[in-house]
Amino acid sequence: MGSDADAKLVRQESQGAENGNKGEKRWSLTDFDIGKPLGRGKFGNVYLAREKQSKYVVALKVLFKNQLQQSQVEHQLRREIEIQSHLRHPNILRLYGYFYDQARVYLILEYAAKGELYKELQRCKVFSEKRAATYVASLARALMYCHEKHVIHRDIKPENLLIGLKGELKIADFGWSVHTCNRRRTLCGTLDYLPPEMVEGKEHDAGVDVWSLGILCFEFLYGTPPFEAKKHSDTYKRIVRVDLRFPSKPVISTSARDLICQLLVKDSAQRLPLNKVLSHPWIVNNADPSGVYNGHN
């Protein structure tokens, strides 16, 4: 992928945008051959699909308008489309375009051939330090790119990460991302990945993604997020206190634990900046420079 076919898809996408609603070339379902279902989401299903002209393989996400309306997430979807379609980074899932009919909205997404990172972590239980560091470095690069564009993801967790054909990590799902903060709806899902300032409903900034990176790094190495507790209220307390405890098993290097400690800091201004994450010794010594986990270590 990323070849002539990619250029064709992009060209058509920008034509559609230029033409707006004037009735000229826009995407429609007839432009695609639909293949196997790739997964089921909260608001619809995702299918493997091929654009007929370019033969370019994509993932087509089909969302039902009535379900979006019922859950009052149309605004969120608009924001997701607006933000994700403008991002171009090897570790961010491309959104090539969208179209709709009476009942559904269709998102034309980059196909992540190796599926969900979450399932990989469930299968492996924990990742090796090399694999974890490769993913953390990829995430740090993608988040730096987002933050330079004043986009905060705010929902970095294993369920929102996909794996490409070569094993490269792709951030998906910009449903909670923002240019500015939106405090009202941040506590709907799991608390596990949220920083103290967000669980306490305080102002927050790009530092929230740095915190989530620390949570993920811990989870990759130990198999569970650090502040997990049976009760929501206990997770809340542990996050606010930064009650960070490293299990004795598996044995993890001091260097990895040092990075986690520098990311999971209560004061967001004191968290390790993302460029320094990339030069941290644990990343330098463990992350694959190609950014791809090749499955051998």
Stretch that binds ligand AMP, among 35-43, 178-186, 211-219, 242-250 (CB under 6 A): 35-43
Q: Is 169 in the site for ligand AMP (CB under 6 A)?
A: no
Q: Which residue is nearest to ligand AMP (CB)?
A: 41
Give the nearer residue to ligand AMP in terms of CB position, either 113 or 187.
113
Tokens encoding 226: 């650090």
Give the nearer residue to ligand AMP in terms of CB position, either 40 or 249.
40
- Cβ-based burial of 10 (10 A; exposed 0-12, middle 13-18, buried ≥19): middle
Q: Which of 41, 201, 247, 281 binds ligand AMP (CB under 6 A)?
A: 41
Bridge partner list, 104: 64
160 is in an annotated binding site: yes
- Closest contact distance (angstroms) between CB of 116 and ligand AMP is 5
Q: Which of 24, 34, 39, 125 binds ligand AMP (CB under 6 A)?
A: 39
Q: Is 156 in the site for ligand AMP (CB under 6 A)?
A: no
Q: Is 171 in the site for ligand AMP (CB under 6 A)?
A: no
36 is in an annotated binding site: no
CA atoms of 33 and 52, how far apart (whole Å): 6
Q: Is 112 in the site for ligand AMP (CB under 6 A)?
A: yes
String marking each residue 184-223 x if it binds ligand AMP according to CB under 6 A: ----------------------------------------
String marking each residue 116-145 x if it binds ligand AMP according to CB under 6 A: x-----------------------------
User: Residues annotated as binding site for ATP?
Assistant: 42, 61, 110-112, 159-160, 173
Residues that bind ligand AMP (CB under 6 A): 38-41, 46, 59, 93, 109-112, 115-116, 162, 173
User: Residues annotated as binding site?
Assistant: 42, 61, 110-112, 159-160, 173
